[in-house]
Amino acid sequence: MSDAPTTEQLTAWITRFAELVHEHRDELTALDSAIGDADHGSNMDRGMTAVVAALTEAPPDDPAALLKKTGATLVSKVGGASGPLYGTLFLRMAGAVGEGFAPALRAGFDGVLARGKAEPGDKTMVDALGPACDVLDAGGSVAEAAQAAADGRDATVPLVARKGRASYLGERSAGHADPGATSTAYLLQAAAETLS
């Protein structure tokens, strides 16, 4: 999509992401049990439930306000690594959403890189978010970006984690998809279903 997304579209996107996180809560937690500390599903579900409640209670007037509220709610409700990372993603998107979804997602991605200091190939959400941004920047559709995020998630399976709690496992972290890359793939899937 080349036009800037509307408040309604973004609300639909975030609501759909919350649904997907809730549906896949156990899957995300199981992935995190294998290589982390078994809290990604419950934390993201708790955070996105709070986001949807905050947006329903007082619907923001414009796209930037909506993204800011989403990010601030995640930062103050989630904790762990996902709170600051997903929170920063949405907060940074708020500053660039007037230019369109692709520049906003890129700005959010830059924020995630700065906050988490992870690089591509470290087996983190960066491995799903980066390829999605690349597709959008090259003029691809949101559906194509979602596919790139899903491929990026799958590509984390053989990787050895270098960031986050999975990194403590060393070689034993290989063989499982990264939970953060998996939730990010759902974020893009939700975008493909609501923003295209």
Partner 1 sequence: MKKLINDPADVVADALRGMAAAHPRLRVDHENRVVFRGDAPVQGKVGLVSGGGAGHEPMHGGFVGPGMLDAACAGEVFTSPVPDQMVAATQGVDGGAGVLHIVKNYTGDVMNFEMAAELVAAESGTEVVTVVVDDDVAVQDSLYTAGRRGVGTTVLLEKIVGAAAEEGRPLAAVADLARRIDDSGRSMGMALTSCTVPAAGKPTFELPEGEMEIGIGIHGEPGRRRVPIAPARDVAAMLVEPILADHTFSDGVICFVNGLGGTPLIELYVVYAEVAAILEKSGIGIARSLVGPYMTSLEMAGCSVTLLQADDELLRLWDAPVDTPGLRWGA
**List 7, 9, 29, 189, residue binding partner 1 (CB under 8 A):** 29
**List 4, 54, 65, 169, residue binding partner 1 (CB under 8 A):** 169
We find the least distance from the C-beta atom of residue 78 to partner 1, in angstroms, to be 7
Compose the 53-72 pattern: x for residues touching partner 1 by CB under 8 A, - for all others. --------------------
We find the least distance from the C-beta atom of residue 6 to partner 1, in angstroms, to be 30
By C-alpha distance, which of 66, 57, 70, 183 is closest to 132? 183
Of 1 and 38, the one with the shorter C-beta distance to partner 1 is 38
Is 143 an interacting residue with respect to partner 1 (CB under 8 A)? Answer: no
User: Are 132 and 152 within 8 A, CB to CB?
Assistant: yes
CA torsion 156→2→101→103, rounded to 10°? 80
**List 9, 21, 36, 69, residue binding partner 1 (CB under 8 A):** 36
Tokens of 111: 């924020």
Of 143 and 169, the one with the shorter C-beta distance to partner 1 is 169
b/e string for 104-117 if b means 16 or more Cβ within 10 A? bbbbbbebbbebbe
125 membership: H or E segment, kind and range? none
By C-alpha distance, which of 186, 150, 182, 152 is closest to 35? 182
Range in contact with partner 1 (rule: CB under 8 A) among 2-10, 147-155, 160-168, 183-191: 160-168
User: Are 14 and 52 within 8 A, CB to CB?
Assistant: yes
Is 83 an interacting residue with respect to partner 1 (CB under 8 A)? Answer: yes
We find the least distance from the C-beta atom of residue 133 to partner 1, in angstroms, to be 21
Name the 3-class secondary structure at 39: coil
Binding residues with partner 1: total (CB under 8 A)? 33
Angle at 69 between CA 76 and CA 105, to 5 degrees: 105
Of 53 and 138, the one with the shorter C-beta distance to partner 1 is 53
- Binding region for partner 1 (CB under 8 A): 29, 33-39, 42-43, 46, 75-85, 115-116, 162-165, 167-170, 172
